[in-house]
Amino acid sequence: MQTSNHLLLSLAPHDYDALAREMRPMTFRTGEVLYEPQDPVDWIYFPEQGLISLLSVMLSGTAVETAVVGNEGGVGFLEVAGAGVTFSRALVQIDLLALRVPAAAYNAAFDASPSLRQQVSSHVELLLAESRQMLACQSYHSHEQRLAWWLLECQDRTGGAPRLALKQDFLAAMLGIQRSTVSHVAGALKADGLIDYTRGEIHILDRARLERRSCECYATTAHYRKLIETRQPTALVEG
C-alpha cells in the first residue's frame, strides 16, 4: 500500500509491512470526531490528506486547540503506548483521508520492533519541542506573526495545498484569541496580498512573504524537524 504519510515513510520496510497488512484507508468529513477525551484507543490514524485538530476540553465544555496533525504524523499511537485512553478530542478540521490501524496490531508491531520504537520516540521529541515553542510564542510574538506561523504549519501538514479549508473560528481557537482579532489580522495579510479568503477557505497567495511575516517559531520548529529527520537511520522507499 502506498503512503504519503511522513511518519510511515520513515519506518524500516519490515516495520511498515507489519502495519500495512492491517491498514485500511478511511475517509472522514470536516467536523467528525475521532476520539473524545477518555475514550479507549481502538484505532491509530495516520493522515494522508486533510488535518486533525487535538483539543483540550475544559470542565465548562470549552475546547481549545493544542495541536494540529496532518501527514507528518498520526493520532492515537502515543496514548496507546501509555494509559490506552485519549487525553484530547481529535476533531477532523479538513476532510480527512487516513490509514487506520487497529491498536492491537500497532502494539504488536511496536513491541516487536526497536526501530519502530525509535521512530515513535523521535516523533514524541518533536511534538514536545513544538509544544514548548508554542508556549514561548504565545508570550512573545504578535497575533499576526502567530497567524502566519499557523497557516504555514497547516499548509505543510496538508501537502502544500495553496487552498486550506479552514474557518476563522478554527484559527481563533488555535491561537487562543478572539475571532474579531483573527479577522483584523487576516484582513491585514489579505490587504498586503499574502493571503485571500472566502467563507471557510483560506488561499495562500505568497508563501515566501508569509514566511517573512511569521515569527521565528516557524523556522525554529522546521529546524528541529530537519535535525530529527536527518538522523533517522532507515526510511521506506515509497511505492
Q: Which residues bind Zn ion (CB under 5 A)?
A: 137, 141, 215, 217
CB of 106 to Zn ion, least distance (A): 33
Choose among 114, 158, 128: nearest CA to 11. 114
Taking the complex as a whole, the smallest distance from the CB of residue 130 to Zn ion amounts, in Å, to: 11
Q: Given the complex with Zn ion, which of 33 and 64 has the nearer CB atom?
A: 64
Of 39, 152, 158, the C-alpha closest to 96 is 158
Whether 201 contacts 155, CB under 8 Å: no
**Of the two residues 14 and 141, which places its CB atom closer to Zn ion in the complex?**
141
What is the nearest approach in angstroms of Zn ion to the Cβ of residue 139?
9
Q: Least distance in Å: CB of 176 to Zn ion?
A: 13
CB nearer to Zn ion: pick between 90 and 172: 172
Say how far apart CA 149 and CA 22 lie, in whole Å.
36
Task: Indicate the residue among 141 and 225 with the shorter CB distance to Zn ion.
Answer: 141
The residue (of 126 and 137) whose beta carbon lies closer to Zn ion is 137
**Residue placing its CB nearer to Zn ion in the complex, 121 or 142:** 142
What is the Cβ-side half-sphere exposure of residue 62, based on CA atoms within 13 angstroms?
5
Q: Check: CB of residue 160 under 8 Å from CB of residue 116.
A: no
Angstrom distance (rounded) from CA 182 to CA 178 = 7
CB of residue 133 to Zn ion, shortest distance in Å: 7
Q: Where are the alpha helices (DSSP H) in 55-99?
A: 77-80
What are the residues whose beta carbons fall under 8 Å from the beta carbon of 187, sequence distance 6 or more? Answer: none
CB of 192 to Zn ion, least distance (A): 19
Which is closer to Zn ion, CB of 151 or CB of 217?
217
**Rounded CA separation 3/90 (Å):** 21
Least distance CB 46 / Zn ion (angstroms)? 28
Look up cell 503506548; give the residue.
81
Residue 144, Cβ density class (10 Å: 0-12 exposed, 13-18 middle, ≥19 buried): middle
